[in-house]
């Protein structure tokens, strides 16, 4: 009998519990990856993400071939592909990792589960990160997560008795309806690229991580840049946690252990936020606190949305961040929070529309982190501190020399440094704004004030607090297992800034 090992977002053989389990079942293993056209037609999918996938599959195939197996690539609906292979190869087991993906993959997995039951095929899904499926309460979660991360990474098998059969050609992005999306400086995919990224971060780039990660300019180098490799699974979080731990002793002697400690904390928060979507899949589509439904127009102002997407809001630092994101597929954590905050509060755009755009732009799009953060930065969770970023202040604080802003907004070349983040105050604004560069589409102070009042009005409504307490109980972090039975406190100030771009 044959086992199908279904690769999804776990494109490696190292620290791969599903592969190890498939080998122990005995008999041949058919290693399968399915390119699902409908998945790539979803509104959160983009060509930059697909290109990263295409760059990652050859390395996986090569690693399997060195062990006697192969990667079978099929294009189509997962259930139909599985059905065809099951009939051809007498399949009795299906093995994969658990996936905390978007709503479409959640629905697809339910269809696969139904198919497997009807076929009499046992589907085993294994854990590959700190997320716990079927969690009933957050008490003890941190201990369980840390226990998993402390276990030795699973060693890749020396040999896999694989089945080699024909593969479909890998579709081009355009074949799936994915058009060029403006990226010009894409981060390369594949495990080799991921390992180079990890090695350089732990060797030297991470030295100033704690200080530089908030800067859009310095953060591009000081951050690990491992997030797309986590999203596609070319690296496992556990192997990075343990590699970082091994480096921390050396880092302590070199004087930069604090940066590595901060990085470890964000690896843990990554799992924390993914757990939210695992526990409540509808947060991709519905406000975590239902009282916020209808707060903003469901049909966003088209002109404002387009200006924000293109980086033409007239708010220089916001526009620079959006243009940088479009061109590179990456943005540091604080700036992700800021552009979302400005979209939700100052521009008063519904988080679903802006969240989908950012999902497409992020090469490292991870649904569990993304939708939790999108709602957090939009004030719709009911349990987080209300943070309305001032984009002018953020520009002054995080780009004090103006180098980042000027790199992405060359039309502001003649604006003096002191007016760069507020060009409307410059005496030459009349010949610039509305011509080479747009005038601001909102008044920053007035828009923030109106947004704050509207959100707080919802929070003052009768019945708001009991629902918020239930949300806290279900989703808020616990400092330690000893917190069981105590009143759960609100997350510490600043915790809502985390966006896990690493």
* Binding-site positions for FAD: 209, 263
Pick out the residues of the known binding site.
Answer: 209, 263
CA distance linking residue 231 with residue 129, whole number of Å: 11
3 forms beta bridges with 29, 93
* Tokens representing residue 250 in the block: 């050396």
Q: How far is residue 53's CA from residue 272's CA, in Å, rounded to a whole number?
A: 25
Residue 335 sits at the vertex; the CA angle it makes with 329 and 341, to the nearest 5 degrees, is: 115
Paired with 7 in beta bridges are 33
Is residue 341 within 8 A of residue 333, CB to CB? The reply is no
HEC string for 173-237: HHHHCCCCCCCCCCCCCCHHHHHHHHHHHHHCHHHHHHHHCCCCCCHHHHCCCCHHHHHHCCCCH
**130's tokens:** 């700190």
Q: What is the Rg, in whole angstroms, of the alpha carbon atoms belonging to the chain?
A: 24
| Residue 490 DSSP label | P
Q: Determine the Cα–Cα distance for residues 206 and 75; give it in Å rounded to an integer.
A: 39
Nearest C-alpha neighbor of 229 from the set 52, 46, 355, 361: 52
- By the 10 Å C-beta count (0-12 exposed, 13-18 middle, 19+ buried), 417 is classed as exposed
Rounded distance, CA 29 to CA 266, Å?
A: 36
Any residues with CB less than 8 A from the CB of 349 and at least 6 apart, and which? 296, 300, 301, 304, 305, 308, 343
């Amino acid at each position: 009998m044959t086992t199908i090992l279904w690769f999804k977002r776990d494109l490696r053989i190292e620290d791969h519990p599903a592969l190890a389990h498939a080998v122990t079942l005995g008999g041949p293993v058919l290693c399968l990856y399915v390119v699902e056209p409908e998945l790539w037609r979803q509104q959160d999918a983009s060509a930059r993400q697909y290109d990263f996938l295409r760059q990652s599959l050859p390395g996986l195939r090569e690693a399997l071939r060195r062990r006697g197996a192969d990667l079978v690539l099929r294009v189509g609906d997962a259930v139909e592909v599985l059905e065809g292979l099951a009939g051809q190869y007498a399949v009795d087991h299906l093995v994969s990792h658990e996936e905390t993906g978007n709503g479409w993959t959640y629905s697809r997995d339910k269809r696969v589960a139904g198919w497997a039951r009807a076929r009499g095929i046992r589907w085993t899904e294994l854990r590959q990160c700190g997320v716990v499926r079927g969690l009933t309460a957050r008490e003890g979660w941190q201990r369980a997560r840390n226990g998993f991360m402390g276990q030795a990474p699973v060693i890749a098998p020396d040999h896999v008795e694989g089945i080699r059969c024909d593969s479909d050609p890998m579709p081009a992005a355009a074949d799936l309806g994915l058009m060029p999306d403006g990226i010009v400086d894409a981060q390369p995919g594949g495990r080799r690229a991921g390992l180079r990224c990890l090695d350089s971060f732990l060797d030297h780039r991470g030295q100033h991580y704690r200080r530089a990660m908030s800067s859009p300019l310095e953060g591009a180098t000081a951050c690990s840049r491992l997030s797309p490799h986590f999203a596609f699974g070319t690296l496992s979080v556990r192997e990075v946690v343990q590699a970082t731990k091994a480096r921390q002793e050396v880092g302590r002697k070199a004087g930069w252990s604090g940066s590595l400690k901060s990085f470890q904390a964000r690896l843990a928060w990554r799992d924390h936020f993914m757990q939210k979507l695992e526990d409540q899949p509808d947060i991709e589509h519905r406000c975590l606190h239902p009282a916020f439904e209808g707060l903003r127009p469901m049909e966003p102002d088209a002109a404002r949305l387009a200006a924000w997407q293109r980086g033409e809001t007239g708010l220089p630092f916001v526009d620079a961040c959006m243009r940088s994101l479009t061109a590179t597929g990456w943005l540091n954590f604080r700036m992700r929070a800021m552009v979302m905050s400005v979209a939700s509060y100052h521009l008063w755009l519904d988080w679903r529309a802006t969240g989908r755009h950012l999902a497409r732009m992020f090469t490292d799009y991870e649904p569990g982190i993304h939708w939790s953060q999108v709602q957090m930065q939009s004030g719709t969770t009911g349990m987080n501190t209300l943070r309305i970023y001032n984009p002018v202040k953020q520009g002054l604080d995080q780009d004090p020399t103006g180098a980042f802003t000027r790199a992405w907004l060359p039309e502001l070349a003649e604006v003096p440094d002191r007016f760069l983040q507020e060009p409307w105050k410059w005496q030459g604004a009349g010949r610039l704004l509305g011509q080479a560069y747009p005038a601001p589409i909102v008044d920053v102070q007035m828009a923030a004030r109106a947004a704050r009042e509207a959100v707080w009005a919802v929070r003052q409504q009768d019945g708001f607090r009991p629902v918020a307490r239930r949300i806290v109980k279900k989703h808020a972090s616990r400092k330690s297992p000893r917190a069981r039975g105590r009143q759960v406190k609100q997350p510490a100030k600043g915790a809502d800034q985390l966006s896990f771009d690493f």
